[in-house]
A = this chain, B = another copy of it.
Amino acid sequence: MKKTVFIFTTLIIALLVLFQLSKFSVMQGNSSLEFSIAAVAVIFLFVGIYINKQREAKNNTSTSNTNTEKQTVDYTQIETLGLSKREYEVLCKLAQGHTNKEIASLLFISESTIKTHVSNLYVKLDVKRRTQAIQKAKELQILPIS
């Protein structure tokens, strides 16, 4: 739906422009004007293609050069962040895909406490959601296993 809307909107705008141009050419009798417009159109057509291609290339390089082989926990990072022992435990369980309730069971404490720890974690990791917390933790290499 969105695609067709976009296509037709583009077509309509193009038509409008063409109408305007034809009006000018009729009024001014400038025959080379259409050629200029066509040239501009073609040029920017390729500019558009080029820009998009650049973007694609950038995505490819950024996704291929981030290989980490070592799987060691960076304890320095944990200290720098100021994560307490309990908070770190919660973070690990969280990154394993557990719900707050499950983590509570695993650590034998209440879900409320987990929520407190998780909220504090978000502040220290500077994130807003648990999915972002996982991302951040992976980046900082403070998670065991992977």
Shortest Cβ distance from A53 into chain B, in angstroms?
Answer: 6
The answer, among B12, B27, B48, B71, for a CB contact under 8 Å with A44, is: B48
The answer, among B23, B96, B133, for a CB contact under 8 Å with A23, is: B23
The answer, among B8, B133, B144, for a CB contact under 8 Å with A8, is: B8
The reply to whether B48 and A20 form a contact with Cβ atoms under 8 Å apart is no
The reply to whether A24 and B15 form a contact with Cβ atoms under 8 Å apart is no
The reply to whether B47 and A131 form a contact with Cβ atoms under 8 Å apart is no
Shortest Cβ distance from A140 into chain B, in angstroms?
Answer: 12
CA distance A108 to B2 in the complex (A): 8
The reply to whether B48 and A97 form a contact with Cβ atoms under 8 Å apart is no
Chain A contact-residue range equals: 35 or more
21 A-B residue pairs with Cβ-Cβ distance under 8 Å, sorted by A, are A8-B8, A10-B47, A13-B39, A13-B43, A17-B36, A17-B43, A19-B19, A20-B32, A21-B40, A37-B37, A42-B44, A44-B44, A44-B45, A45-B45, A48-B49, A49-B49, A49-B52, A97-B133, A98-B131, A130-B131, A131-B131
Interface residues of A, Cβ cutoff 8 Å to B: 1-2, 4-8, 10-17, 19-24, 27-28, 32-33, 36-37, 39-53, 56, 59, 62-64, 66-67, 69-73, 94-99, 108-109, 127, 129-135, 138-139, 144-146
